[in-house]
Amino acid sequence: MEWTVDDVKESLLFVTAQSDVHVNIALFIDALDERTGDHRELLSLLHNLSKHARSANFRLRLCLASRPENIFQDAFTHAPGFAIPDMTKENIRQYRGTL
């Protein structure tokens, strides 16, 4: 089954609306830049989810990965993050030295 953005949006917003249970979600999304269509729609969904994450019963942790495209860098400029090549550079250098 392939999920549409609307399927994901509806499911996640349903979960955030549950006030009688405590919800902890860790959501890992890779390749944000590879989504076809308007990236702003996806960013809007993530922003709306993060607003709900401030409630007492709903805790959300997001881990997002993308190529460094401006739309994502601008959207997450204040979020903690890192560039994967910066974190793996030394490992690659060491590996190349063993060849």
Tens-place pLDDT, residues 83-92: 998 999 999 9
pTM as predicted: 0.74
Residue 66: the pLDDT is: 94
Task: Count structural domains, the chain.
Answer: 1
What is the domain extent for residue 37? 5-97
Structure tokens at 44: 């809007």
**Residue 79 confidence (pLDDT) above 80:** yes
Tens-place pLDDT, residues 24-78: 889 899 999 998 888 998 898 888 888 877 777 888 889 999 999 999 999 999 9
